[in-house]
A and B are shown apart, each in its own frame.
Chain A
Amino acid sequence: MFIWFLASFINGHIRRDIVPRGADIKGVPKDVADHARLRFHHGRTYGPLQKLSYFGVFFILFPLIVLTGLTMSPGINSIAPFLLDVFGGRQTARTIHFVVMLALVGFFIIHIVMVLAAGPLNELRSMITGWYRASHGTSVSGGDKP
């Protein structure tokens, strides 16, 4: 995962596809409404909700679960006692760790459900090959090409 992070920083995947922009934030209400009606858009880029959840998982939940996990280690406490102060002690770190675990499990379930709902074959092909069949009406620049 660390290698993936490093590679994605270097090749721009994170900057280009993961970090939400102004337009994504503006698009959230419409995206929420579309999801509620089970109308999914298959574009070349990630949708607003998708970007927000990926960003949350990569930059909030993953670091939090690792750091709160380290805070619970008596060995690490000796070399990095500031972690105890950051998270308000071992037991608070433990509570945060648990809540973040629930959030990650929730993300995992929704993530898998969405893959199935969005057409599992098309999604799996795009993960492996980069080729993806977009919705009708998707502009050429935002279309099938990887």
Chain B
Amino acid sequence: MLTYQVQRRLIGAQTLAREYSPSEIRRGQRPNGSTNPSTAEYSALRAADFAHYKLTIKGMVEQEVSFSLAELRNMPARSQITRHDCVEGWSCIAKWTGTPLGAILDMARVKPEARFCVYHCYDNIQTSLAGDILYYESSDLIDAYHPQTILAYGLNDQTLPVANGAPIRVRIERALGYKQPKYVHTIELVDDLSPFGQGKGGYWPDNGYDWYGGI
């Protein structure tokens, strides 16, 4: 929390993460975490090549909106070659293509009292006795509206593979890899993170990781 406060004061809301040249992409993007979600819902979507996929923006918005994958792909896109930093220590440079999240949030017209975006995902990162634990993450609105924050559907000029989060993965480029939720289906605007999961704002934060993740 202290790091979050210091970095938010020190680093401008629009300060960009470094972008690399194509020659610096040395290998494919290394998949990690969930790489093959097995929930029935996701399997059905995948079988139809995500034709029935919908991304929903809900919660503290003036108007709840949903977009199909085709609609998202037809919106103005942004491509960026950035470095993915895993909390495990490795990094990987890759080209990400997607729709800027800020523009989509503006279409839903975020209410002024909203403070966080919660990203709900399809993947069952963990299976417990009580059933599947689904991945989720969250960010503040500064990260959500950051110019490099995109809903990525393309990776290294290809369609985003399942292992890397198909059909949609959020890229928040100034944070660690676990803040880049994969298999996202709903983005919920909230003013409080405590009702979700164990209340820490994400699957990994619930398991002890720092919520901010910009280290």
- Chain A contacts to B: CB under 8 angstroms: 72-79, 81, 84, 90-91, 94
**B83/A90 in contact, CB under 8 A:** yes
Please measure, in the bound complex, the distance between the C-alpha atom of A143 and the C-alpha atom of B174, giving whole angstroms.
Answer: 56
Mark out the residues of chain B between 143 and 180 whose CB falls within 8 Å of any chain A CB in the assembled complex: 173-176
Q: Does B18 sit within 8 A of A, measured CB to CB?
A: yes
The reply to whether B18 and A75 form a contact with Cβ atoms under 8 Å apart is: no
* A81 touching B174 in the complex, CB below 8 Å, given contacts A72-B215, A75-B7: no
Whether A76 and B85, one on each chain, are in contact in the complex, defined by CB atoms closer than 8 angstroms, is no
CB < 8 Å: which of A74, A76, A84 contacts B176? A74
Q: Which residues of A contact B18 (CB under 8 A)?
A: 77-78, 81, 84
List, in ascending order, chain A residues with CB within 8 A of B11's CB.
Answer: 75-76, 78-79
Interface size range of chain B in the complex: 20 to 34
Query: In whole angstroms, how far apart are the Cα atoms of A57 and B175 in the complex?
Result: 31
Query: Inter-chain contact count A-B, CB under 8 Å?
Result: 45
CA–CA, A50 to B214, complex, Å?
38
Residues on B with beta carbons closer than 8 Å to the beta carbon of A78: 11, 15-18, 173-174
Residue of B nearest to A98 (CB): B89
Q: Which of A75, A90, A91 sits near B214, CB closer than 8 Å?
A: A75
Mask: chain B, 186-215; 1 = CB below 8 Å from A; 0 = not: 000000000000000000000000000011
Which positions 36-87 of chain B face chain A at CB distance < 8 Å? 83, 85
- The answer to whether residues A75 and B91 also contact, given A81-B18, A84-B18, A90-B85 and a CB cut-off of 8 A, is no
Do the beta carbons of B16 and A94 come within 8 Å of each other? no
B10 contact set on A, CB distance < 8 A: 79
Residues of B91-107 contacting chain A, CB below 8 A: 91
If A90-B85, A91-B91, A94-B89 touch, whether A74 touches B215 (CB-CB below 8 Å) is yes
Q: Which residues of A contact B85 (CB under 8 A)?
A: 72, 74, 90
Which B127-146 residues have C-beta < 8 A from chain A?
none
- Could you tell me the distance in whole angstroms from the C-beta of B16 to the nearest C-beta in chain A? 6
> A2: shortest Cβ distance to chain B, in Å?
14
Chain B residues whose C-beta falls within 8 Å of the C-beta of A79 in the assembled complex: 10-12, 15
Chain A nearest CB, measured from B30 CB (Å): 13
A76 and B7 contact, CB distance less than 8 A: yes
Contact B16 A74 (CB under 8 A): no
Shortest C-beta distance, B21 to chain A (Å), equals 13
Give B29 Cβ to nearest chain A Cβ, in Å. Answer: 16
Expressed in whole angstroms, the minimum distance between the Cβ of B101 and any Cβ of chain A is 17
Which one, A75, A84, A91, contacts B215 given CB within 8 A?
A75
A84→B93 CA distance, assembly (Å)? 14
Assess whether B214 is in contact with A74, with CB atoms less than 8 Å apart.
Answer: yes
Contacts of A73 in B (CB 8 A): 214-215
Is the pair A75, B175 in contact by a Cβ cutoff of 8 Å? yes
A74 touches which of B89, B90, B175 (Cβ 8 Å): B175
Are the CB atoms of B91 and A90 closer together than 8 Å? yes
Q: Would you mind naming 9 contact pairs between A and B with Cβ atoms under 8 Å apart?
A: A74-B175, A74-B176, A75-B174, A76-B7, A76-B215, A78-B15, A78-B17, A79-B11, A90-B91
Inter-subunit contact A74/B173 (CB<8 Å): yes
Give the top 4 A-B pairs by smallest Cβ distance, nearest first: A75-B214, A73-B215, A79-B11, A78-B15
Complex Cα distance, B91 from A42, in Å, reads: 49
